[in-house]
Amino acid sequence: MAKDNPLLMPHDMPPFSSIKAKHIRPALESIIADNQRTIDALVKIEDPDWDIFIQPLEELDERLSKMWDTVSLLNAVLDDEVFRENYRLCLPILSDYTTRLTQNKQLYRRYQSVRDSSSFADFDLAQQTLIENALRDFRLSGVALPEAKKESFRAIQSELSILSNRFEKNVLDATDHWFLHILDEKKLSGLPDTAISLAREQATHKALDGWVFSLQAPYYIPFIMFADDRVLRRQMYEAHVTRASDAGPDAGRWDNSTIIDNILKLRREKAALLGFDDYVDYALQTRMAENSHTVSAFLSQLSAAAKPAAQRELLELSAFASQEGISELQAWDLPYYSEKLRQRLYDISQEDVRPWFPLDSVLHGLFEVINRLFGLTVKRNNNVEIWHTDVRYYEICDNAGAVRGRFFLDLFARKGKRGGAWMGDGISYKKTSKGVQKPLAWLVTNFSPPAPDKPSLLSHDEVITLFHEFGHGLHHLLTRVAYPAVSGINGVPWDAVELPSQMMENWAWQNEVLKMISGHFETGEPLPVKMVTRLNETKIFQAGMLLLRQLEFALFDLTIHQGTVSVDVQQTLDQVRAEVCVFIPPEFNRFQNSFSHIFSGGYASGYYSYSWAEVLSADAFSLFEEKGIFDSDTALSFLKNILEKGGSQDTLTLFRAFRGRDPVIDALLRHRGLTA
């Protein structure tokens, strides 16, 4: 019963501490059953309109999303195997329900009836977009297929959800399992004190002597960048790039190779069932990019700009390494000697700036940026239930003190927590005759936790990550669209959803902002002017190589999803690397086996979106460069035309409203130092 299951209770804030693994399936089945009864009644309506047909359906979707988004969060951040197993068992149930819903011909015809009615022209743009999107999604789910093929489609969807979850679980288990145990203090040579201290705590946690370096980002990244011991760097590198594969120290234990092949096979079958040329053709139906030729041409344009620079950068790095006694660079040398070269050229490193970026100072400065841009205030509230002691809760308020949005921060790496950084849309903005539902988000990162004698200190790369995820949060939380299906990030094309997040990154490089977000953890002094200058000079360091790496991922993703026949995934990756890379990784590299973005995230046939959206964000920020980084009119225009509009209108139309023209690539190349 609802009173016994916290996931079934109406809530404005999830009751995290009350939610247990045993609650997941009963809650899901109860909501689905309730929804189905209501849908069976709604499809009988002869003359459907917004109020008696569309709005009730939106309420059903929103209730289910609110429950499942909370469960998905806890699945990603809790070290609870029982919870994960119950989550996994529910995936086929959810997949079957959503697919049957979008294959319901009666429902589809009612939506068509509303679309074709005379009143449709009187709907606002958000309502029209919502209905058009729903009709598109019906078609993309096979509503027009004969029943036998519908059943095949449902089976494919169910199996894909299971495989994607298994892929991510394998990556998590492989990441958590392996670690490097060091007993000889001499082998710590080169490592910064923060990394050594963290490794010492990790060893203590495991009841071991010495130091422990895991494959989680706060341990792996400093080690591969700073450890002088080349043999140990190779061990760390090999363990990291062979996670969940047939190679490396845990070869075969959590191997994702067969899962990858099966996922690609099922995606091809799904696209074929619906009559598309291939999975890329299917995926691009919901994107800004017109077709695969558009994407390929775009990536080729970027590659042509980046490759000459990358070749020069690699020659420079090789020459520098040779002076250090390295005749041939290996993959585990690149981060190490790149960081040394960066220090040689600019006299600054990521570790040098850490003491000036204690987490609380960065957050205070970030919130001040938001205040100066949009007139909004961010306030912490300690009287809200959280899912882990590390978690913080905040509210974004307007100048009258009214809450516009709410968010949680889960900032530190820990065992059992999914790697990387992301924003989850826990509750969507909604406005009805009953009032306004305030949106809720969770922003998750994997930064180094505080040490006994130091606060959490961020590298500048981590500062950028925080600004990035906060940009996603603003997109979700500041929307003014009344309908959840197209409010916030919902309904935004996947290749445009990174626009606000990448836009926010730009402020983390500005001299004025660097002073605002920094404060030495011992003295409180802001980042010195010389360091600010040097840090900004590093922005274009190895920009060609970094962009080519993104293009390698994007082209690999695009290539394995093109065509109608199976591909050899490793061979395809090797071919892509031969085409675009200036440095070829070792044969044992199995990057694809932990490429969660495309095999367990939402980026399949869409990894190009990062570069595509960066064109939009760089061009959008260029207007701030022209007018002033805190120009109130420009900020208000971005708020009104991009952040508040969510997915309610065509992205290109919204961009034109803000920028006054179509996007151009010039600003991106200039920001990366890749112009002639």
Based on the fold, state whether residues 135 and 214 are members of the same structural domain: no
Is residue 453's pLDDT more than 90? no
Based on the fold, state whether residues 199 and 72 are members of the same structural domain: no
CB 577 within 8 A of CB 145: no
Based on the fold, state whether residues 7 and 132 are members of the same structural domain: yes
Based on the fold, state whether residues 196 and 130 are members of the same structural domain: no
CB 154 within 8 A of CB 100: yes
Residue 222: inside a domain, yes or no?
yes
Phi, psi of 525 (to 5 degrees): -70, 140
Is residue 481's pLDDT more than 90? yes
pLDDT digits (tens, 9 = 90+) for 199-243: 999 999 999 999 999 999 999 999 999 999 999 999 999 999 999
Number of domains in the chain: 2
Residue 454, Cα to own-chain centre: how many angstroms? 29
Q: Pairing relation of β-strands 403-412 and 422-427?
A: unpaired
Based on the fold, state whether residues 198 and 82 are members of the same structural domain: no
d(CA 468, CA 460) in angstroms, rounded, equals: 12
Based on the fold, state whether residues 13 and 116 are members of the same structural domain: yes
Is residue 376's pLDDT more than 70? yes
Based on the fold, state whether residues 184 and 111 are members of the same structural domain: no
Based on the fold, state whether residues 8 and 78 are members of the same structural domain: yes
- Spatial neighbors of 264 by CB under 8 A, at least 6 apart, are 279, 560, 561, 566, 567, 569
DSSP state of 182: E
d(CA 672, CA 618) in angstroms, rounded, equals: 10
Based on the fold, state whether residues 74 and 200 are members of the same structural domain: no
Residue 225: inside a domain, yes or no?
yes
Based on the fold, state whether residues 89 and 24 are members of the same structural domain: yes
pLDDT of residue 244: 98
Residue 487: inside a domain, yes or no?
no
Mean predicted confidence (pLDDT) in 386-401: 97
Based on the fold, state whether residues 136 and 183 are members of the same structural domain: no
Last residue of a domain, one of 140, 159, 191: 140
pLDDT of residue 676: 58
Query: Which of 469, 498, 552, 644 is labelled catalytic?
Result: 469
Rg, Å, the chain Cα set = 25
Q: How many CA atoms lie within 13 A of 68 on its CB side?
A: 19
Residue 552: inside a domain, yes or no?
no
* β-bridge partners, 215: none
Residue 526: inside a domain, yes or no?
no
Helix, strand, coil percent values for the chain (each to nearest 5): 60, 10, 30
Residue 618, Cα to own-chain centre: how many angstroms? 19
pLDDT of residue 433: 84
Residue 47: inside a domain, yes or no?
yes
pTM, 2 dp: 0.94
Residue 370 corresponds to which tokens in the numbers above?
């938001």
Helix segments in 478-585, DSSP class H: 499-505, 511-517, 529-537, 543-560, 569-580
pLDDT digits (tens, 9 = 90+) for 87-129: 999 999 999 999 999 999 999 999 999 999 999 999 999 999 9
3 state SS of 271: helix
CB 298 within 8 A of CB 570: no
Query: What CATH number does residue 58 fall under?
Result: 1.20.1050.40
Residue 387: inside a domain, yes or no?
no
Mean predicted confidence (pLDDT) in 32-51: 96
Burial of 571 (0-12, 13-18, 19+ CB in 10 A): exposed
Residue 659 pLDDT grade (very low, low, confident, very high; cuts 50, 70, 90): very high
Is residue 452's pLDDT more than 90? no
Write down the mean pLDDT value for the chain: 96
Residue 667: inside a domain, yes or no?
no
Based on the fold, state whether residues 116 and 184 are members of the same structural domain: no
Mean predicted confidence (pLDDT) in 40-45: 96
| Alpha-carbon distances, residue 344 vs 305, 316, 349, 583 (angstroms) | 26, 12, 9, 22
Last residue of a domain, one of 241, 260, 295: 241
pLDDT of residue 1: 52
Range of the domain at 77: 2-102+104-140
Active-site residue flag, 185: no
d(CA 369, CA 376) in angstroms, rounded, equals: 9
